[in-house]
Structure 1
Amino acid sequence: MVPDYPLSRSTDPVPEAERKAILAEPGFGRYFTDHMATAVWTPDGGWHDRGIGPLRPYTLHPSAAVLHYAQEIFEGLKAYRHADGSVWLFRPEANARRFARSARRMALPELPEEDFLTSVEGLVRADEAWVPVPGGEESLYLRPFMFASEAFLGVRPAAEVVYSVIASPAGPYFASGVTGVTLWVSSRYTRAARGGTGAAKCGGNYAASLAAQIEAQEHGCDQVMYLDSEGEGTLEESGTMNLCLVTSDGRLVTPALGTILEGVTRDTVLALAADFGLTPEERTVTLDELRSGAADGSVTEVFAAGTAAVVTPIVRFKGDGYEFTVGDGEPGSRTVALRRHVLDIQYGRAEDRHGWMHRVL
């Protein structure tokens, strides 16, 4: 049976004029819509108290488990308005499945896929006026999350958990156009280890990344490039995005799964690779392979893939005592073409041959 998230409309929504001003220049994660979806889990009741109501602060006991043991997970996806006014989600089932995998790893209750989809769709319908009319790459960013709310200081899985979805209008990630970024290859910090939480989308992974991001900025770089924790020089993730290499012999190479996040955009570009004359490969990639490939021209392009920026060209790497450029230091042609095609599918400008788009309105 499809779960019901009954709507209780806000009696104090953002005034229309203020909302229009926000949508004209939303930024990312700065403003939020009028409503939120919620549900609660307990061992005896399972998932209950589902609903969509006014956006509001949480009231938590100081001993709430999430504040002490970081038992929480989240997701990120977007709603897109098409030229005919309709509103669509991109591969939300993949986000629902990853949300369940993250929950298992963090000893949280699994939210059924139907619950995930119904709550996200319901929030989009309630706040449809917040879905931007795209002049570029504007969208409504959706953030489902789950956290341990039980008031208890013992170290065990929480017996009360809250699930919620909030929404935030988002502008284009590259406000001045798509330009290449530079990554700092950190030899000081690692993102995850075998058996750790690297494959889960949990807040602890991102909290631990902040020091590495500061390190990258101190070296004049846009983001960090992580290596494996075992000192083998294996490439893992680029900050909050997956890494992809394009080779001169027509391969699209990306680090294999295990300690990295199974990105939805990563999977998307792998599925589209053949359409751009590329053969996808998921395997171990070392820093030495990247450096030598950039030097001899066998690695022609590098990009990162993620929900926020879609496909981000990477044109330069820096590390302790070295620096190198990929190609001519400009975004590669296949990177730009892949990025454009993914966006065209999301905004309804290209045929969705994979059945990825999910209509809401």
Structure 2
Amino acid sequence: MGLFSLSSQMAALPIDEVLPRLGQILADASRAVLVAPPGAGKTTRVPLALLDAGWRGDGKIVVLEPRRIAARAAADRMASLLNEGLGETIGLRVRLQTLVGPKTRVEVVTEGVFARMILDDPSLEGISAVLFDEFHERSLDADLGLALALDAQAALRPDLRLLVMSATLDGARVAALMQDAAVVESQGRAFEVETLYLGRDSGERIEDAAARAIFRALAEESGSMLVFLPGQAEITRLAGILGEKLRDPAVDVCPLYGAMDRAAQDRAIKPAAAGRRKIVLATSIAETSITIDGVRVVVDCGLVRAPRFEPDLGLTRLETLRVSRAAADQRRGRAGRTQPGVCYRLW
């Protein structure tokens, strides 16, 4: 069952307008690039739409996500749209967890898992299409996976479809890498977001500045809140500050980072209960890969912790950096996904 037969059960999303064109391109060619901003619906709508494609045959559609939490969220959402559980039409394969079955036709995997899949089987037997989601986040595993997939397509599998999907990507550059693949662009759906610059003293700890912004936002705005911090250490310290000073029993504080167990991650992603507000303390994991319903306030510290290779030492270390303009815009946009919102920037 594909997307078009389910359209009456789904709310319209911006991506729906370009799905027919994308389907025609992939029917005529083996490579394409899809550029669609967060909220357009590309992650969950495109794989389901391609289920009905004639070129798919009995092969699987593999969807790559940059992180385990994003892979689980995407797989759960697609399965719910089909009124099924994971392991039926929609499968999931991440480190330490595999939920696939004989009926699985869409398999959501992390980029690292796909790299191992294609190294073990360069011809990708039984796979009809590979979709690289959130490719703008750029990682070694994603770049390696695309390079190996292009090589496999050229040498072994000319029938294999490759689709690169991104929110902020320069589509023309990636299309050129894929031998002038067609580029399809979709408009997003976003509400107006007011931006306030609060500043931060260079000697002030990040979590102290964030706590001050959070209490201001709680007093000035309604709705749940998403707070972007560099890493787990800052999240833990800020959670401690809020635990000591937050007096409102109707506000829940939920950390969100990659090393958490699944149950804790699910609690952070789920909408706040009726009559309650949620403060999600997140790393860059929440920029584009996942959606947290009910958030209309964003507090952005403007920093990210990223790996940097030191060639002199031959080692990779984590470094705290300023976010790019594109990343800052992505974070800001999280406040306007479902209603008008506010973004407090700590610079």
TM-score (norm 1): 0.27
More helix by share: 2
TM-score (norm 2): 0.28
